[in-house]
Amino acid sequence: MLPHKKRPAAQDVHGITEGVIWKQLLAFFFPILLGTFFQQLYNTADAIIVGKFVGKEALAAVGGGTGTLINLIVGFFVGLSSGATVILSQFFGARRQQDASRTVHTAMAMAIFGGLLLMALGLVASPVILRWMSTPEDVIDLAVLYTRIYFCGMIPSLIYNIGSGVLRAVGDSRRPLFFLIASCMINIVLDVVLVLGLEMGVAGAALATILSQLASAVLVVITLMRSAPPLQLRPREIRLHGDLLSRVVRIGLPAGLQSVLYSLSNLVIQAAINGFGTDMMAAYTAYSKMDGLFWMTIGAFGVSITTFVGQNFGAAKFDRVQKSVRVCLAMAAGATLALSGVLLLLGRPLFHLFTNEEIVIQRGLVVQRFLVPFFITYVCIEVFSGALRGAGESLLPMVMTLLGVCVLRVLWVKLIAPLQSGSFLFMLACYPISWTLTSILFVIYYFSGKWLERCKQKAGLADVSLQ
């Protein structure tokens, strides 16, 4: 058992499995939210600087498809590795220190091997995919350059993401936040130096990002190496443990595939957006940086409830699992409504951060006013899917996402949107429609209660009653 009084992370764990739920969720949520904010600030800083000082073609290059492509390739591995986070949180809640330590070293091995694979894949596939997405000729060279440089930093990127996931799995959400703040400041300084000072354009923006990610990776590795067992990272013990890897894949593969399916559907949509020209690409890029505020907020709730459910499930506190989901759902809905109001109220000033061209601002405002009011329809998807993953149920959430979000979006863009050819908003209607229908699927499945019994059986806890 971890020494309770000497390890802050251990105190956080006891707070997650005991005490007032909403207070513990908020204490865990805010560091994750701020961390996600600074992570989002990486690409946002790139977009602001190149958009204001290089031009709309550069703005379109760093956002008009490159972000979706990066999410497609990187998102699969990050989703896959989330299985390690779930397993680690359950081992930690059950006080199985040796298994927790083996999970840490397996996760870091996945980061190294996965980083090498993704770097090679990104370097080779970027030009092909960006051209398939109908990226305009005045943007394609810049987009390929930005993406290829970005993928050269895959190993440190995955090391940071997986390492911070390890820390959060045991209740430590503060140190990953501090690392991100430091690396984000480095990114902004390097953006100014490389893009403005040395006039390196999008290459400078991409280089600034990967160097700052390297800094965050170094910080998280040093932290894990200096931690007490079972978190302590010992480089000589980094390897893929077969028994744990199979469990990681079983839980994480559906999450990884779900991320890929999201990104594939978004690639189809982005290709349709690119067909409307550079001005619309730039407008949608600026909008996507602003709606990133919502996605990072709702994503922080998803990570929080996944870890919260994972540790309480591992401790066999099933009544606390169900109560925490209800509390998280209410908090996420309130935050979504508040944030939607802020985005709608401050739309024009926010767009001016990215560009001074009025046509780009006008088109971006149209998109924003159409989509933002529907954010509330996504809340159930994130909270319920996060809770299900925390308990070890990941296959059916993937299937529901596949059908309700990905397949529907693609069918809409390819079969229905052409009926209103030239209507940008009619094409974008696939988002609110897919959010609403998928939320209904998750609500029905979650309240059926079958998932909890199935997860208890898989974990050998079928005879444990609600506590």
pLDDT of residue 62: 65
Domain contains 385: yes
User: Would residue 360 count as lying in a domain?
Assistant: yes
Asked if residue 362 lies in contact with residue 320, where contact means CB atoms within 8 angstroms, the answer is no
**Are 170 and 12 contacting, i.e. CB atoms less than 8 angstroms apart?**
yes
Q: Phi and psi dihedrals of 291, rounded to 5?
A: -70, -10
Task: Round to whole Å and give the CA distance between 233 and 114.
Answer: 18
Q: How many domains does the chain have?
A: 1
Is residue 7 a part of any domain in this protein? no
Residue 118 amino acid letter? L
Number of other CB atoms surrounding residue 246 within 10 Å: 11
- pLDDT recorded at residue 467: 46
Q: Name the one residue in this structure whose structure tokens are 């996760």.
A: 107
Domain that holds residue 379: 25-458
C-alpha dihedral, 112 to 116 to 117 to 120, nearest 10°: 170
pLDDT by residue (tens digit) across 207-257? Answer: 888 898 899 899 999 999 988 888 788 888 888 887 788 888 877 777 777
Q: Tell me if the pTM is above 0.75.
A: no
Neighbours of 243 (CB within 10 A): 10
Q: Which amino acid, residue 404?
A: G
Q: Is 1 within a domain?
A: no
**Residue 106 and residue 139 in contact, taking contact as beta carbons nearer than 8 Å:** no
Give domain status of residue 173, yes or no: yes
Q: What distance in Å separates the CA atoms of residue 138 and residue 277, rounded to the nearest whole number?
A: 10
Residue 432 lies in a domain: yes
d(CA 256, CA 13) in angstroms, rounded, equals 26
Are 316 and 300 in contact, with CB atoms under 8 Å apart? no
The residue ranges of the chain whose pLDDT is under 70 are 1-15, 17, 36, 39-44, 46, 52-53, 55-69, 71-73, 133-134, 459-467
pLDDT of residue 211: 92
Residue 97 lies in a domain: yes
Q: Is 95 helix (H, G, I), strand (E, B) or coil?
A: coil
DSSP 366-423: HHHHHHGGGGGGGHHHHHHHHHHHHTT--HHHHHHHIIIIIIHHHHIIIIIGGGGTT-
Report the C-alpha gap between 87 and 391 in whole angstroms: 9
- Both tokens of 67, joined, read 């972000």
Residue 383 lies in a domain: yes
Q: Which two tokens stand for residue 246?
A: 């199979």
